[in-house]
């Protein structure tokens, strides 16, 4: 008796709900995302702007916790209850979704014309022929410096590597500031802000990265070893006990004004703006010789794709096209300084530091982190090994040539093109 009444209730509510849907005229789109920090920006800025342009479409942003996103998303996709639009992590995680039929191809979408091949690389099949997510944002590597300290010591912004080391020498001599804020305790900083930051100038960005994937270059080639040799020189400019200095330690050290230079990723900008009470500037990884062509790591970080099972494919496509538009690029980049639009549109940004970072795209060639595409699929994992090797050479416990050989042997043990 009781159970029949509950069943009846459930049935009635289900019917009512579906009736509600049937009468709704708007197409409703739900976005799956791991960026729960951005909920407010989506609700107050991005979605209203889109809905104003597309009156028949309603959008809901429903993020889950970053660490659980992959698991939550996969189970929703398997169960068929995932949203219409899906935020994509770069490379293998999203590629696997595409291969399992959980992401639709977006290659022919109008909005995709506004992206370069580097921007699209994070969400392309290995041969680059099919794209399955519209790129949203990237993070750029470089160096943030304390302008007040540089003025105090009469230092110019370094253009070449020798100028950088000369500046660091002067800061060290003066003794008021730790020349460079970085530690090796967390390991990833040494690789991400160290090796992947300065490296593209040596391996010529995309040229070297693709040659490594094709097997035309090896990690033991000089352009892949030399960045490690430069990192060895960093050791003298890091703070006392940098071996046990953590990532938050480095951030604090710089924002409290105790260090002059911070090897950075652009995602630091909004955090640093709130904490530092001195003026900050930024410079791209210095080139080796004056006049050399420069390269920056403009790493693809976030994109958005379409669930092939969506009930409103046309509305979803309209949204994805909008993500490729000028308007979205400008809104997103200004709402989240440090997360730069990947499209070719020129975006005016209010934050001077963010503006500085993005201006390098005009002068230098963009590339992405060398270990992210394809090369970190096997065991040993090249990305994790690069963390380890970078931290080791900075600590002075492994010679650059030995580290390079170890990584090359590891990669060759499972990657066909390097055998």
Partner 1 sequence: MSASEKTKRPVRWHIAVFLAPAVLVYTAIMILPLFGTLQLSLFREVDQQQVFVGFDNFRILFGDPRWSDSFWNALFNNTWFFIIHMLVQNPLGILFAALLSSPKLRFSVFYRTAIFVPTILSFVIVGFAWKLILSPLWGIAPDMLSAVGLKSLFAPWLGKTEYALTTLSLISVWQFIGIPMMLIYAALLSIPDEVLEAAECDGITGMSQFWKIKLPLILPSIGIISILTFVGNFNAFDLIYTTQGALAGPNYATDILGTFLYRTFFGFQLQVGDPNMGSTIASVMFLIILAGVSIYLFGIQTRLRRYQF
Does 131 help bind partner 1 (rule: CB under 8 A)?
no
Which residue of 146, 325, 376, 390 would you call a contact of partner 1, by CB under 8 A? 376
Query: For residues 137 and 253, which CB has a smaller minimum distance to partner 1 in the complex?
Result: 253
Query: For residues 114 and 388, which CB has a smaller minimum distance to partner 1 in the complex?
Result: 388
Does 240 help bind partner 1 (rule: CB under 8 A)?
yes
Least Å distance, CB 80 to partner 1, is 19
Per CB under 8 A, the segment of 105-113, 153-161, 182-190, 339-347 that binds partner 1 is 182-190
Which residue of 171, 299, 398, 418 would you call a contact of partner 1, by CB under 8 A? 398
The full length of the chain comes to 419
Query: For residues 77 and 329, which CB has a smaller minimum distance to partner 1 in the complex?
Result: 77
Does 395 help bind partner 1 (rule: CB under 8 A)?
yes
The pair phi, psi for residue 70, each rounded to 5°, is: -60, -45
Does 254 help bind partner 1 (rule: CB under 8 A)?
no
Which residue of 26, 186, 207, 326 would you call a contact of partner 1, by CB under 8 A? 186
Q: At what angle do helices 69-79 and 92-99 cross, to 10 degrees?
A: 0
Does 183 help bind partner 1 (rule: CB under 8 A)?
yes
Which residue of 371, 390, 408, 418 would you call a contact of partner 1, by CB under 8 A? 371
Please choose, from the candidates 174, 181, 170, the residue with its C-alpha nearest in 3D space to the C-alpha of residue 145.
181
Which residue of 91, 132, 228, 340 would you call a contact of partner 1, by CB under 8 A? 91
Which residue of 384, 401, 405, 412 would you call a contact of partner 1, by CB under 8 A? 384
Residue 54, Cβ density class (10 Å: 0-12 exposed, 13-18 middle, ≥19 buried) = middle
Using DSSP bridges, classify how beta strands 178-180 and 280-283 pair: parallel, antiparallel or unpaired.
unpaired
207, containing H or E segment: helix 206-214
Per CB under 8 A, the segment of 77-85, 101-109, 183-191, 320-328 that binds partner 1 is 183-191
Kindly identify the residues of this chain, within the stretch 208-227, that bind partner 1 according to CB under 8 A.
none
Query: For residues 50 and 372, which CB has a smaller minimum distance to partner 1 in the complex?
Result: 372
Tell me how far CA of residue 187 lies from CA of 25, 235, 237, in angstroms: 53, 14, 17
Does 237 help bind partner 1 (rule: CB under 8 A)?
no
Which residue of 198, 383, 390, 411 would you call a contact of partner 1, by CB under 8 A? 383
The tokens describing 25, both together, are 């005229």
DSSP 68-101: GHHHHHHHHHHHT---SEEEE-STHHHHHHHHTT
Which residue of 381, 399, 401, 405 would you call a contact of partner 1, by CB under 8 A? 381
Query: For residues 124 and 184, which CB has a smaller minimum distance to partner 1 in the complex?
Result: 184
Least Å distance, CB 336 to partner 1, is 22
Kindly identify the residues of this chain, within the stretch 3-32, that bind partner 1 according to CB under 8 A.
none
Please choose, from the candidates 95, 97, 129, the residue with its C-alpha nearest in 3D space to the C-alpha of residue 112.
129
Least Å distance, CB 179 to partner 1, is 15
Rg of the chain (C-alpha set): 24
C-alpha span between 372 and 341 (Å, rounded): 19
Query: For residues 397 and 417, which CB has a smaller minimum distance to partner 1 in the complex?
Result: 397
Tell me how far CA of residue 158 lies from CA of 222, 290, 293, 417, in angstroms: 24, 10, 15, 38
Give, in degrees to the nearest 5, the angle at Cα 391 between 374 and 172: 130
Owner of token pair 């794709």? 305
Q: How many residues bind partner 1 (CB under 8 A)?
A: 39
| Contact present, 308 and 105 (Cβ < 8 Å) | no
Per CB under 8 A, the segment of 105-113, 268-276, 331-339, 369-377 that binds partner 1 is 369-377
Please choose, from the candidates 131, 45, 134, the residue with its C-alpha nearest in 3D space to the C-alpha of residue 85.
134
The tokens describing 44, both together, are 């107050």
Which residue of 392, 404, 408, 418 would you call a contact of partner 1, by CB under 8 A? 392
Owner of token pair 């698991």? 71
Per CB under 8 A, the segment of 111-119, 137-145, 197-205, 247-255 that binds partner 1 is 247-255
Does 74 help bind partner 1 (rule: CB under 8 A)?
no
Does 188 help bind partner 1 (rule: CB under 8 A)?
yes
Least Å distance, CB 306 to partner 1, is 24
Tell me how far CA of residue 20 lies from CA of 17, 281, 314, in angstroms: 5, 54, 21
**Residue 91's beta-bridge partner residues?**
none
Site residues (CB under 8 A) for partner 1?
A: 91-92, 183-188, 239-246, 249, 252-253, 371-372, 376-377, 379-384, 387-388, 391-392, 395, 397-398, 410, 413-414
């Amino acid at each position: 008796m009781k159970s029949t009444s509950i069943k009846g209730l459930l049935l009635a509510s289900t019917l009512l709900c579906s009736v509600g849907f049937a009468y709704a005229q708007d197409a409703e789109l739900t976005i799956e995302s791991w960026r729960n920090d951005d909920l407010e920006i989506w609700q107050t800025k991005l979605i209203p702007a889109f809905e104003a342009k597309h009156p028949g479409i309603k959008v809901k942003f429903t993020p889950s916790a970053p660490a659980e996103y992959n698991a939550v998303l996969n189970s929703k996709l398997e169960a068929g209850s995932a949203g219409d639009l899906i935020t994509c992590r770069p490379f293998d995680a999203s590629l696997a979704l595409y291969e399992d039929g959980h992401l639709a191809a977006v290659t022919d979408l109008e909005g995709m014309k506004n992206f370069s091949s580097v921007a699209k690389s994070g969400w392309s099949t290995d041969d680059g022929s099919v794209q399955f997510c519209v790129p949203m944002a990237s993070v750029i590597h470089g160096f943030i410096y304390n302008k007040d300290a540089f003025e105090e010591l009469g230092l110019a912004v370094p253009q070449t590597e020798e100028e950088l080391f000369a500046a660091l020498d002067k800061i060290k001599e003066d003794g008021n500031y730790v020349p460079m804020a970085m530690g090796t305790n967390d390991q990833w900083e040494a690789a991400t802000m160290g090796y992947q930051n300065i490296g593209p100038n040596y391996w010529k960005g995309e040229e070297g990265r693709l040659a490594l994937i094709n097997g035309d270059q090896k990690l033991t080639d000089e352009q892949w070893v030399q960045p490690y040799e430069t990192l060895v020189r960093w050791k003298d400019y890091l703070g006392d006990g940098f071996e046990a200095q953590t990532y938050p330690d480095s951030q604090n050290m710089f924002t409290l004004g105790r260090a002059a230079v911070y090897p950075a990723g652009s995602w630091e900008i909004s955090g640093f703006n709130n904490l530092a009470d001195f003026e900050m500037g930024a410079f791209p990884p210095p080139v080796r010789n004056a006049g050399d062509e420069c390269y920056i790591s403009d790493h693809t970080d976030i994109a958005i794709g379409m669930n092939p099972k969506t009930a409103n494919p046309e509305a979803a496509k309209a949204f994805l096209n909008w993500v490729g538009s000028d308007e979205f690029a400008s809104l997103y980049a200004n709402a989240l300084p440090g997360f730069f639009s990947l499209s070719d549109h020129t975006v005016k940004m209010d934050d001077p530091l963010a503006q500085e970072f993005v201006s390098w795209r005009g002068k230098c060639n963009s590339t992405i982190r060398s270990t992210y595409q394809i090369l970190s699929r096997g065991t040993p994992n090249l990305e994790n090994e690069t963390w380890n090797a970078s931290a080791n050479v900075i600590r002075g416990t492994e010679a650059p040539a030995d580290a390079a050989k170890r990584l090359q042997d590891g990669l060759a043990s499972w990657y066909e093109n390097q055998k």
